[in-house]
Structure 1
Amino acid sequence: MKKKIVVLAVGMMLLLLIAGCNRNAAEMIKGGSVQVNEETGELTFTAIVTDKELEQGTPFQTRFFFEGNTLKEALGTDLVYTDKELKSRKKKEGDVTQEVTVPLKNKETLKQIIKDIRDKDKESVTIEIVNEKGRIDDRTIHEVKVN
């Protein structure tokens, strides 16, 4: 019986160690939010990113990935890129704020969209940092500001 307990304890410790090492992201996303303009029917997605974890000259771009039928149908897409590709700088000069505004195709679902984004159990809006090698970092955001 004692051997089983020891084997079980060692197995649990290894499982915790493996689970803790699973995230291999660069920790580039400092924060983000979604700003809702009810008058114009637009959503502005904001990401605050840093290049401190990258080698100098590494290009990267911010994009927003949308999950859930309500949000994707209201925006008409499931992925939006920011206009500007950035490069990590020699002097790590601090955070960069990137924004992209998307008009809603279906304004009737606005209340449901806000509810879905705020729901911590859903991953409705995910900020992703990508380059030619793939995804560098990602973070789901739940902060919504309504105008």
Structure 2
Amino acid sequence: MKKKMFVTVVGMMLLLLITGCNRNAAEMIKGGSVQVDEEAGELTFKAIVTDKEIETGTPYQTRFFLEGNTLKEALGTDLVYTDKELKSRKKKEGDVTQEVTVPLKNKETLKQIIKDIRDKDKESVTIEIVNDKGRIDDRTIHEVKVN
């Protein structure tokens, strides 16, 4: 009987420990959006990031992970990278806005793309902050601005 009680208590403690662990993210992403230019047939992915939560001199890059066949086929890729790698600054000067514009290969699916991104149940566009050690932070965005 004592063995069963011991195993139960240890199991409960492990369960509490596991549920208490959350993702170890640096909380770098302040916001983001997707801007749709219907005339030009382009999507502009925008991320607002901060370096306040990471060590000075840590390199990082922003990328956008795209999920769902409609979005992938319309852009021809599932990962969109920003052009430059940043390093956290000593003074922690504030937020940095990073954006990248990608032309659509298939403009007919534009309305479906907008619908998919706005759908809170889907993770169509995820902003990820990464470096050579892996992913530092991520956040799914649902804000779409149509021009």
TM-score of the aligned structures, taking structure 1 as reference length: 0.89
Q: How far 1:18 moved relative to its partner?
A: 2.9
Equivalent position SS for 1:40: coil
Identity, % of aligned positions: 91
Q: How far 1:110 moved relative to its partner?
A: 0.2
Segments of 5+ residues of structure 1 without an aligned counterpart are: none
Distance in 1 (CA, whole Å) between partners of 2:83 and 2:100 is 8
Q: CA RMSD in A?
A: 2.4
CA-to-aligned-CA distance 1:23-68 (integer Å, 9 cap, x gap) = 1111000000000000001000000000011111110000000000
- The list of structure 1 runs, each at least 4 consecutive aligned residues, that deviate by more than 6 angstroms after superposition, is 1-14
Cα distance change on mapping 1:16 and 1:110 into 2, 3 Å: farther
Provide the residue aligned with 1:99 in structure 2.
99
Segments of 5+ residues of structure 2 without an aligned counterpart are: none
Cα distance change on mapping 1:53 and 1:114 into 2, 3 Å: same
Q: How far 1:22 moved relative to its partner?
A: 2.2
Distance in 1 (CA, whole Å) between partners of 2:116 and 2:13 is 36
CA-to-aligned-CA distance 1:65-111 (integer Å, 9 cap, x gap) = 00000000000000011001100000010100000000000000000
Tell which deviates more after alignment, 68-77 or 7-16: 7-16
Cα distance change on mapping 1:2 and 1:42 into 2, 3 Å: farther
Q: How far 1:139 moved relative to its partner?
A: 0.4
TM-score of the aligned structures, taking structure 2 as reference length: 0.89
